[in-house]
Structure 1
């Protein structure tokens, strides 16, 4: 007969002791644990990089203007502003053209292409160029956002960590790339959930879903946001009043607003692509033309910053003023049209800067304009124009990026107005569905396709030039 000790596990059994549990844990496949630990590290690095990038952009813009006003005679301020802004903007264009052309523009299409194994990730070039080049172009006052660059830099940080730790697992490398992108957006907007949703929803054609990749993205986004809040504080990015829920009888107005943004979003995306094509024909890839045009734009916006600042910069700083009612109908219309033109001009030039923040500002101005008109037409409904401004932010994002859930969560996290979730849902879904019905394409998909076509054309041109040179050498009797 077996003894009791043979039938009942001993209390000293290795599997029941804490040390035994640890040993069993360590004997398991460590790949997933390694990815999660590295994703936390990626989130921290991306959080620091994105936060210091924001601080640097504000420092350059504020100190440049303050220095001019304090140290230049009144009649030379405009000239000095033009020269200094032109120089720092040209510096950003020069770095981009000569060192890392991949750093041009928003950078989000580059990350999407890399996640789909269609674009290389040259982090050793892109990270310094995007950071310092972005300081030049954004610091000059151009209408560009820092959020797209933060996403690209975050993704490059993920690739850098994978290379440094010699991670060979393709799925793990992909997870770190996606984690870095989410961390960059999380820190840029102080929106950890939106950072995660952006990768899962907007990058869904490229993102490889798995339990490990989802965990990695969440962890990186959380860590980046913790770093941001430890440096910048825990307040919402945009300081707005806390609005109550609108009356149910007024919800149809938010659907109308969303449909209007759906129509506008389709045309806006097409205008962005056309502006990029126009500049490409204008500078033809030549260094002097590219840098010269960039410097000229930077100088012009540097002067505009002194006399009409509402038409410069990313525009997020003007959102509270619009929702408070500081601008009348006519001024709102001027700012909207002016910022629309400025966004196309600056982003189309290929500067290292994003379109995220300018889109949010455009949505705010148009939403406030709609809210003021609705309030005048239906005074008995007790409408708050500021609620339409917040809904407009998410609606334009949803119509252009085609990621309604990300747009809703992003705006709610940025403004801390969770009472508006119902009108936000109605507005963003209305914008997305109508944009899709009209045949519109997501902006970053359009930009990625354009980048890939340009890459193919360049490769064919290089091959043709090499073949032509080889034929010429053969005719001249020289070895190829």
Structure 2
């Protein structure tokens, strides 16, 4: 009898703890709707800006002006406007914005959604629409988080509930950006684990926001995977050691890549010294250079998502893949380090694909006795670089699987991402977004002292 009474008491206690207010769950769904609309609108708007840029170049070229000169001028102007808009009205909208959301979850950074939302959208249109090597996925996470804070402020919810809605918006933003709902949930739970306040209510809000945002995305853009790629069969067991080796290589490269990002930001900082005019000068030079590349080296520009399918079908030799990899490393560092509004998710996925594909093609040539599909190494590389730099291996695995619809490659992805994470940890690497947030907080302290 006593045992039954105790069990009944525990069940009632669990039900009480598990009971989330219906109004909060409805607000989480509203956050999902808003985040999904921002993500969908941002993607559609960006595609339209890119199309307008191509049409504008063709129109002006009819007047006899060199196409490369027009491209340089147009991208330079768009980059300057993007940087002016960002650093004049909402400096926190610079870059991907994910460190800002992590800081907000830890009550270390404000979320001025009334500034961030318009600046991030239109600044992203200008910077990414001009051809800079930036992605829309990180900004979409910040847009989703800002949408969550907007709903929390408008409905005047408590601080704990506002935290849950902010996390729900961030997860919904990633879910809609990649059409990857499970990865959206895992990103908040895994990558933002130091800041996210775990609880049954907050987890429910994240799930609801993610699901609703993804439904909104699929309503407008369909249910296909975000990257159209071949469906690969599981690799032979004898080739799994090669995936571990690839992961180790990415683990070492991931540390160097993170350090290079910070060094590039320092290099820019020594030049502009926080002055808007110098930032705009950087934007003009950077935009002109990238504009020239959009004509003579288009594969070195843009976010890189569109490049991934072409790489995996074997359109490039090993030498071409290596050269393209090195070139995109340079353009990625220069564009992301400038502070222009745009993320690094897509550029990193493209880099992982290029190196992984090159590794696979090389292994195929050196080990003809094994049945090697180079495309499987390209997909594994996408997840491995994400795991090595962001240090969220589970998110990287699920993200790549959902993006490419290659569920049969979960084992090689696990092995590659595990190798990348272990090597990065062994070499003392730190997560990229954590380092960027720490630099932002340190810069704030220095400015207050000054």
| TM-score (ref. length: structure 2) | 0.94
User: Deviations along 1:310-344, whole A, 9 cap, x unmatched?
Assistant: 00011010001111000111111111000000010
Give secondary structure in 2 for the equivalent of 1:380: coil
For residues 246 and 189 of structure 2, the distance between their equivalents in structure 1, rounded to whole angstroms, comes to 26
1:309: which partner in 2? 298
Q: CA deviation at 1:51?
A: 1.1
For residues 101 and 141 of structure 1, the distance between their equivalents in structure 2, rounded to whole angstroms, comes to 21
Is contact 1:65-1:81 (8 Å) kept?
no
User: Deviations along 1:253-279, whole A, 9 cap, x unmatched?
Assistant: 000000000000011111111111111
Give secondary structure in 1 for the equivalent of 2:190: helix
1:271: which partner in 2? 260
User: Deviations along 1:372-421, whole A, 9 cap, x unmatched?
Assistant: 01101111211000000000000000000000000000000000000000
For residues 252 and 314 of structure 2, the distance between their equivalents in structure 1, rounded to whole angstroms, comes to 26
2:169: which partner in 1? 180
1:79 to 2:62 alignment:
no
1:117 to 2:137 alignment:
no
2:208: which partner in 1? 219
1:97 to 2:107 alignment:
no
Is contact 2:42-2:121 (8 Å) kept?
yes
For residues 171 and 297 of structure 1, the distance between their equivalents in structure 2, rounded to whole angstroms, comes to 42
For residues 210 and 72 of structure 2, the distance between their equivalents in structure 1, rounded to whole angstroms, comes to 39
Aligned length: 434
Change (3 A) 1:188 1:33: same
Per mean C-alpha deviation after superposition, the further-off stretch among 128-137 and 288-297 is: 288-297
Q: CA deviation at 1:236?
A: 0.5
1:467: which partner in 2? none
Match of 2:242 among 230, 253, 259: 253
User: Deviations along 1:157-185, whole A, 9 cap, x unmatched?
Assistant: 00000000111x22100000000000110
Which aligned pairs between 1:271-350 and structure 2 lie closer than 5 A?
271-350=260-339
Per mean C-alpha deviation after superposition, the further-off stretch among 88-97 and 201-210 is: 88-97
Q: CA deviation at 1:29?
A: 11
1:477: which partner in 2? none
For residues 307 and 104 of structure 1, the distance between their equivalents in structure 2, rounded to whole angstroms, comes to 28
2:408: which partner in 1? 419
2:378: which partner in 1? 389
Match of 1:152 among 142, 148, 154: 142
1:4: which partner in 2? none
Give secondary structure in 2 for the equivalent of 1:316: coil
Is contact 2:18-2:200 (8 Å) kept?
no
Give secondary structure in 2 for the equivalent of 1:452: helix
Provide structure 1 residue ranges, at least 5 long, that are not aligned to the other structure: 1-27, 462-480
Q: CA deviation at 1:30?
A: 8.6
For residues 298 and 150 of structure 1, the distance between their equivalents in structure 2, rounded to whole angstroms, comes to 23
Match of 2:31 among 32, 42, 45: 42
Q: CA deviation at 1:34?
A: 1.9
1:363 to 2:363 alignment:
no
1:469: which partner in 2? none
Is contact 1:140-1:299 (8 Å) kept?
no
User: Deviations along 1:425-476, whole A, 9 cap, x unmatched?
Assistant: 0000110111011100000000000100000001111xxxxxxxxxxxxxxx
1:143 to 2:137 alignment:
no
> Which of structure 1's runs of 4+ aligned residues deviate more than 4 A?
28-31
Per mean C-alpha deviation after superposition, the further-off stretch among 208-217 and 63-72 is: 63-72
2:341: which partner in 1? 352
Give secondary structure in 2 for the equivalent of 1:46: helix
Is contact 1:363-1:394 (8 Å) kept?
yes
1:400: which partner in 2? 389
Q: CA deviation at 1:32?
A: 2.5
For residues 397 and 166 of structure 2, the distance between their equivalents in structure 1, rounded to whole angstroms, comes to 24
Which aligned pairs between 1:195-234 and structure 2 lie closer than 5 A?
195-234=184-223
1:437: which partner in 2? 426
For residues 297 and 36 of structure 1, the distance between their equivalents in structure 2, rounded to whole angstroms, comes to 45
For residues 71 and 377 of structure 2, the distance between their equivalents in structure 1, rounded to whole angstroms, comes to 36
